[in-house]
Amino acid sequence: MKVFNVLFSFKTTLILLAILAIGAGVATFIENDFGTSTARVLVYNNIWYETILVLTTVNLAAIIYKFKMWKNTPRFLFHSAFVIILIGAGVTRYAGYEGIMQIKEGTTENRMTSLDPYLQITIKDGDKTYYKEYKKEFTTLMKSINEFKHTISYGDKKVDVTYKNYMLAKKGTAKMGLLTVDVTANGETKEIKLPGRRSQKGLKRDLQFGDTTVSLEYGSKILLLPFAIKLNDFQLDRYPGSMAPSSYASEVTVLEKDNTAYNYRIFMNRTLHQGNFLFFQSSYFPDETGTVLSVNNDPGKWPTYFGYFLLTLGLLLNFFDKKSRFAKLTKFLASKNIASLTIACLLAFASTSANAADTNTQFQEKAKSTVEYLKTFKENSDVTAKKFARLVTQSSTGRMKPISSLNREIILKVSGKKSLFGMNADQIVLGILSRPEVWRDLKIIKIKTPKLKKYLGIDPSRKLIAFSEVFKDGNYILAKEAEKASLSKVDERGTYEKDIIKLDEKLNIVYSVFNGSLFNIFPKVVPTSDTKENNKWYTPMDAMNGFEGKNKLAVEQMTRGFINAVIQSNWTEADKYISLISTYQEKVGAEVTLSQTQIDNEIMFNEIDIFPKVMIAYLILGIFILIAAFIVVFNPTIKPKKTTFFFFVILAIIFAIHTFGMGFRWIISGHAPWSDTYETLLYISWSAVFAGVMFFRKHLLALSAAVIVAGIFMFTAHLTGIDPQITNLVPVLKSYWLTIHVSILTASYGFFALGAVLGYMTLIMFIFRKNRPHVDDTIKHINAINELALIIGLAAITIGNFLGGIWANESWGRYWGWDPKETWAYVSIVMYAIVVHLRFIKSLATPFVFAVASLLTFSSILMTYFGVNFYLAGMHSYATGDPVPIPTWVYYLVTLVFVTIALAYKNRDLKPQISQEENMRNKK
């Protein structure tokens, strides 16, 4: 019995979970550097990792039995769900298989290429043929694992095939790996090299041994399906005027063995289900004459789905279970209340924020005519610039937007500002477009590094330079430096090289405004039968050169007339030409142009510019609440409830504005506002404040932590070079599953970030808790809030991750593929599951351990969100080539965290808020 209690205990389970998490995390780095096959061989498909998974499943089942969890329905449901999910995954792993099917239009196919690689050996001896195959992947690390010797006996003869070497294909290339083996037959040994890799058919090689021919092939093999599929038509839709796919679909007929048939349309997020086979739209032939379907035979689908259902149901019911840990923590918090500080504290830290006006030095340096031009243009161009901004333009990816959005993107990219010389972006771009000879000499381009300023021979104190300052005698001064910087490795670039590359990009943007090549404002009249144009819109210069007849004449008159009217300051005439261009867009480009309401909405969204303002509000308010909270912690006699309510009301107003901004962006973009890096950072901020407002509004430290987390994530979104512009979605993201999966999963990051900040605050209080008994109560209180946040976050990330699995299965036919993003989400789930169960291990059931764990475990979330995106290659990754260097401040931050932990360690001795005895009762 004692052995049973040791083997099937929470401690053993947590150790097994830690091994699983560490192994999977390490595997993502192995995969990045040595290939997917190496990671699969050494970790994911290795017997040791599968053994740990089995032991964890058995252990979990034993704990369910040991503590009679069936007496508590929610707890039993979500714990037993993991057992069912793991069993389903095992069925998929050992009974399922995947592959690729390529079909040309008008043809019928019943063959697929396997995803898994095989060593296929065919022996021809006289008129007899013998065949053997061995499923095998290879690693470039610990190559001894690769070794094999296969003996194929036929008649009274035999052939030996012995492993010799395997070379990995270079990352990022289409080249195959190279397997080298020795083949021995009839007493003779020959070496042969076999090119091949996972998911691609290999090349067959023959060896002759007297009358015996040995053929070898390494790579995917051909599998026959019990039915056939005919491709009737492949359809590809692109975004207007671009090559970017909007959607693609395959119209097919499924031909079954009993001669029955039915038609089906396969497209992104709509798979074909035929028995246990799933077919999903993966890709297409380069010449668009055929389709590429990914195939998955998955007998473990329904057990896994059933497990997902039980898991979600159990986790949701757990929040309403009066015997759950969540309920006990909520009850504990309800029995205590940390009061807040008086309003006088707020008045002591008054703060204002305003943008400094541009100095007049630039005007003083210019000729009198330029100064006069700027003054006149500023005073008189506003109305015309607003009308110009309402014209519609087409981006390179096919997104239709008002020129107002493009103008803002241009000026923000070039100068880092939203206005210059007292003029808005619309006026500035109109000025550059109409009078490039004037604006080329005006300082509008941002430059940072002193070394680059010195190279250009300009004053180190200047922040802006003119376009003309990088040219001398008609030559581009930075040509060689820019080429050298762009050819250098990303991780070897310093601030000087980065600034050169950015400056070069800004100069190209300004030049493109000079010649109007950024403004695709003219749709082309084309025959209805001509689909190649795809509603493409053209720049004024391209339209004048490429259009014909009346259309060409109309474009020339409108373009020249408008520019000349602006140059001559004839604003009435300029407005007339803008009206003509707008009418032309509405008539010729009616299929894709924006309505007046859509234009109004996007311009309004641009003008109110919600998110930077909300960011500043969060940061300022968070600091005020934090100061108030810490003063209360160390002065428990202060308990004015009105001030707590005052802070809550202000936060609720800011949160409402934030929510309005997210909804407004959703309306404009046409998709949920968490579909790219910028949007998900905004959404994580939103979820953090949501946690504070909804769950922890009576607790100042928790509220301040939520607001600070929101401010930090929004700060990251706006001040780290992340592009905020609205873009089109790739086809696979056009799914309601995206909205559900990402919203729930990303929301969990806000709760985990809140937990990390609360953990850090707790450690600070540990440093100063000596001889302050009231601080101990505060630590226990904040620890309870922290644990509540992590329980909610863990439920959200678990449900969100498994919903993502359903989305993946419904979109591309498999719910798990060990992609780095998936893997790190799994690592995060496991790590946080360990953290919330630490209370069951007596030596670790302390507020100090929990605070440290909640703080350090957040690194797995940072790795899931940032690390995978920028350092690991995968379907969810933005990493290409060399990784982005880790910012210096990260090292300082990590040092600060560990110094804080070290200082808090000496005062770590504090009992938990809920006794160990009660924890043990909770098990049962």
pLDDT at 820 over 90: no
**Residue-wise DSSP of 537-595:** EE-HHHHHHH--HHHHHHHHHHHHHHHHHHHTT-HHHHHHHHHHHHHHHHHHTTTTPPP
- CB distance 605 to 594 below 8 Å: no
Which three-class secondary structure state does DSSP give residue 871? helix
Q: For 852-892, write each residue's pLDDT tens digit.
A: 999 999 999 988 877 776 666 544 444 443 455 667 778 88
- Of all residues in the chain, the percent with pLDDT exceeding 90 is 29
Q: Given the structure tokens 């301040």, which residue do they identify?
A: 704
List pLDDT tens digits, range 728-752: 555 555 555 566 667 787 788 888 9
pLDDT of 917: 47
Q: Is 353 helix (H, G, I), strand (E, B) or coil?
A: coil
Binning pLDDT at 50, 70 and 90, where does residue 579 land?
very high
Task: Specify the pLDDT at position 749.
Answer: 85
- CA-nearest of 504, 338, 483, 314 to 413 is 504
Do residues 229 and 278 lie in contact, with contact meaning Cβ atoms separated by under 8 Å?
no
* Cα 162 → chain centroid: 44
What residues pair up with 393 in beta bridges, in sequence order?
401
Residue 802 has what pLDDT? Answer: 80
Which carries the bigger pLDDT value, residue 669 or residue 173? 669
In this predicted structure, the answer to whether residue 811 has a pLDDT above a threshold of 70 is: no
As a whole number of angstroms, the distance between CA 128 and CA 153 comes to 13
Evaluate whether 124 touches 216 at the Cβ level (below 8 Å): no
Burial label for 745, CB within 10 Å (0-12, 13-18, 19+), is buried
Contact 199, 292 (CB under 8 A): no
The whole-angstrom separation of Cα 141 and Cα 418 is 52
* Strand-pair partners of 531: none
Let me know: does 488 contact 497? Beta carbons within 8 Å.
yes
Fill in the DSSP letter of residue 161.
E
- Mean pLDDT, the chain, as a whole number? 82
| Residue 181: alpha-carbon gap to chain centroid | 42
For residue 1 the two structure tokens come to: 């019995």
CA distance 262 to 229: 10
Strands 537-538 and 290-297: unpaired
Closest CA to 179 of 223, 136, 214, 130: 136
The 10s digit of each residue's pLDDT in 60-112 is 888 888 888 888 888 899 889 888 988 888 888 888 888 899 999 999 999 99
Per-residue buried b or exposed e for 249-261, using 16+ beta carbons within 10 Å of the residue's own CB: bbbbebbeeeeee
| In the predicted structure, residue 41 carries a pLDDT above the cut 60 | yes
Q: What are phi and psi of 320, to 5 degrees?
A: -110, 5
For residue 354, pLDDT beyond 50: no
Using an 8 Å Cβ cutoff, are 311 and 81 in contact? yes
DSSP string, 44-68: ITSHHHHHHHHHHHHHHHHHHHHTT
DSSP, res 866: I
> 690 or 879: which carries more pLDDT confidence?
690
Of residues 473 and 527, the one with the higher pLDDT is 473
Residue 819 exposure: Cα atoms within 13 Å on the Cβ side: 17
CA separation, residue 699 to residues 148, 346, 409, 473, 889 (Å): 63, 17, 41, 66, 30
Residue-wise pLDDT tens digits, 259-298:
899 999 988 767 888 888 889 888 888 888 899 998 988 8
Using an 8 Å Cβ cutoff, are 327 and 321 in contact?
yes
pLDDT score recorded for residue 645? 82
What pLDDT does residue 527 have? 58
Dihedral sign for Cα atoms in the order 814, 815, 817, 820:
positive
Report, as an integer, the average pLDDT of 829-851.
92
Number of H helices and E strands in the chain, helices first, is 33, 24
pTM above 0.85, yes or no: no
Coil, strand or helix at 493: coil
Contacts of 191 (CB under 8 A, 6+ apart): 164, 180, 181, 182, 183
Cα separation of 206 and 187, whole Å? 17
**CA dist., res. 878 & res. 876, Å (int):** 7
pLDDT digit string, tens, across residues 524-562: 876 554 555 678 889 998 888 888 888 888 889 999 999
pLDDT at 499: 83
Query: Which of helix, strand or coil describes residue 152?
Result: strand
Is it the case that residue 339 has pLDDT exceeding 50?
A: no
Q: Looking at 174-188, 419-433, 837-851, which range is the least confident one? A: 174-188
What pLDDT, on a 0 to 100 scale, did the predictor assign at position 814? 63
Strand partners, 149: 162
Contact 257, 266 (CB under 8 A): no
Question: Helix, strand or coil for residue 28?
Answer: helix
- The mean pLDDT of 480-502, rounded to a whole number, is 74
DSSP 8-state secondary structure symbol assigned to residue 43: I
Where is pLDDT greater, at 752 or 300?
752
Is 541 exposed, middle or buried (CB count within 10 Å of its CB: 0-12, 13-18, 19+)? middle
The per-residue DSSP string of 380-420 comes to HSHHHHHHHHTSEEE-TTS-EEEHHHHHHHHHHHHHSSSEE
Most confident listed range (149-153, 513-517, 645-649): 149-153
What pLDDT is recorded for position 356? 32
Which phi and psi angles does 668 have, rounded to 5°? -70, -45
The residue type found at 263 is: N
